[in-house]
Chains A and B, each alone.
Chain A
Amino acid sequence: NAGVTQTPKFQVLKTGQSMTLQCAQDMNHNSMYWYRQDPGMGLRLIYYSASEGTTDKGEVPNGYNVSRLNKREFSLRLESAAPSQTSVYFCASSDSGQSSGNTIYFGEGSWLTVV
């Protein structure tokens, strides 16, 4: 069972470079999310997509763009990376079933360093 798969797992970027984090889920979930995790700050929502074809800003969207390519895939793009974007990024997806608590499932994380 693959669940939520995100790539790359590790990346080092120079300031000003661009990159895209890829995420795919095989659980037929409608909703997908991108979070960043920084020490002492928990997880903060960057963008989310409640369903295919829609995206919405979360708590910290500045400096990022997203694309919900299809139901399976939700990518996060850094157009011009900054050191403040050094973080661990988590992709997640959730189902719509109330019996399962609308549970959110997370990928393994992508460690991004901007130098």
Chain B
Amino acid sequence: GEDVEQSLFLSVREGDSSVINCTYTDSSSTYLYWYKQEPGAGLQLLTYIFSNMDMKQDQRLTVLLNKKDKHLSLRIADTQTGDSAIYFCAERRGSIGGKLIFGQGTELSVKP
């Protein structure tokens, strides 16, 4: 299909790990991104991964990329209540300056 797919909701307990999954569409996409959006706010870039990598770690965040299956995941270790937000994955299609296509977003709810 043409869409970037994400599950809509995820609920975890404080201190647990969260894993948010995403399936993208274009095998030639150069970069894949994770953005965070808190209520009433804009989008904040969390991290990105280049398509020739299969893993990237940045403090509590781990991104895994499976190019064969076009699957991207974001793991948040030791999830905190402040991590409650909507998380969007996005793929950049085409060359530099090309379109950035977003998934529907996954709403992460962290319970104390």
Q: A residues bordering B, Cβ < 8 Å?
A: 30-31, 33, 35, 40-45, 48, 50-51, 58-59, 90, 92, 94, 96, 98, 101-109
List residues of chain A with CB within 8 A of the CB of B112: none
List residues of chain B with CB within 8 A of the CB of A41: 104
Is A42's CB under 8 angstroms from B102's CB? yes
Is B42's CB under 8 angstroms from A50's CB? no
Given A48-B99, A50-B98: A106 in contact with B43 (beta carbons within 8 A): yes
List residues of chain A with CB within 8 A of the CB of B33: 101, 103-104
Would you list 9 pairs from A and B whose C-beta atoms are within 8 A, ordered by A residue? A31-B96, A31-B97, A40-B104, A42-B102, A42-B104, A104-B45, A106-B42, A108-B41, A108-B42
| Residue in A30, A42, A101 whose CB lies within 8 Å of B97 | A30
A111 to chain B: closest residue by CB: B40
B4 to chain A: closest residue by CB: A42
- A49 to B: closest C-beta gap in Å: 8
List residues of chain B with CB within 8 A of the CB of A109: 41-42
List residues of chain A with CB within 8 A of the CB of B103: 42
List residues of chain A with CB within 8 A of the CB of B97: 30-31, 48, 50-51, 94, 96, 102
Q: B residues bordering A, Cβ < 8 Å?
A: 4, 8, 30-31, 33, 35, 41-43, 45, 48, 50, 88, 90, 92, 96-105
Is A42's CB under 8 angstroms from B105's CB? yes
A51 to B92, CA, bound (A): 16
List residues of chain A with CB within 8 A of the CB of B88: 42-43
A49 to chain B: closest residue by CB: B97
A43 to B90, CA, bound (A): 10
B88 to chain A: closest residue by CB: A42
